[in-house]
């Protein structure tokens, strides 16, 4: 039995979304953040040596890291769904955004949070500049393609999704400046799998789609 351990308001919502897109049979366990520091509770940290979300258990396997989990589930259970074939012209685009999500976009956002947490008066130029470039590239890309993976929805959209939706609870630019991104958010919100995932992962919290 596949078990998805979801820390609320975290990137582990990606895994719930993927399971719904693939129609997988899975058990969902929800964990709330601590009241004192908004971090994961001790029982969540005990699931994996890294002590961070997401984490899945599949039989005897315990696996962390969003990208690794998504690739594992798609490869083992996806039957070729949600990933362009290697000979598709969309394949390199899909790969870029799939890895940009945590390799640059989320990492840069975490640096901003860390700087603020230490009381920095200003965000370092290289951090602010890199963030601005990411948001600019996102808007430009979505003006040329409907999805991060190109013409079809893919796991690149799932990887990018958290930072562009729920992750904005931690900060981000005004969406009024990003009409192409708002169009993508609308398309995501229309997906029944996303609606089911968010109802399960964040009950009572309206998805951040605007």
Evaluated on CA atoms 196, 197, 199, 205, the torsion sign reads negative
Give yes or no for residue 109 having a pLDDT over 90.
no
- 91-191: which CATH topology? Glutathione S-transferase Yfyf (Class Pi); Chain A, domain 2 (1.20.1050)
What confidence tier does 179 reach under pLDDT thresholds 50, 70, 90? Answer: very high
Q: pTM, whole model, 2 decimals? A: 0.93
Helices (H), 28-150: 42-45, 66-77, 91-100, 106-117, 125-144
- The residue with tokens 């919290």 is 205
Digit-coded pLDDT (tens) for 182-199: 999 999 999 999 999 999
User: pLDDT value at position 114?
Assistant: 67
Give me the chain's average pLDDT, please.
93
Domain layout of the chain by residue ranges: 2-82+194-201, 91-191
Residue 173 to residue 72: CA distance in whole angstroms: 33
pLDDT in tens, 45-80: 999 999 999 999 999 999 999 999 999 999 999 998
Domain 2-82+194-201: CATH class, spelled out: alpha beta
């Amino acid at each position: 039995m596949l078990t998805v351990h979801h820390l609320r308001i975290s990137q582990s919502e990606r895994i719930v979304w993927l399971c719904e897109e693939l129609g997988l049979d899975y058990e969902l366990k929800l964990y709330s953040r601590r009241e004192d520091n908004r971090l994961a509770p001790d029982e969540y940290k005990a699931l994996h040596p890294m002590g961070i979300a997401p984490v899945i258990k599949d039989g005897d396997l315990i696996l962390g890291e969003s990208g690794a989990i998504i690739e594992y589930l798609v490869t083992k259970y996806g039957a070729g769904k949600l990933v362009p074939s290697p000979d598709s012209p969309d394949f390199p685009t899909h790969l870029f955004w799939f890895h940009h999500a945590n390799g640059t976009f989320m990492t840069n956002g975490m640096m901003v949070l860390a700087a603020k947490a230490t009381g920095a008066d200003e965000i370092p130029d290289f951090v602010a500049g890199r963030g601005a470039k990411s948001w600019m590239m996102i808007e430009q890309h979505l003006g040329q393609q409907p999805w991060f993976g190109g013409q079809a929805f893919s796991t690149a959209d799932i990887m990018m999704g958290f930072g562009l939706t729920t992750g904005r609870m931690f900060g981000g630019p005004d969406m009024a400046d990003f009409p192409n991104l708002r169009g993508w958010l609308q398309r995501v919100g229309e997906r029944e799998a996303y609606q089911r995932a968010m109802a399960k992962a964040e009950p009572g919290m309206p998805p951040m789609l605007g």
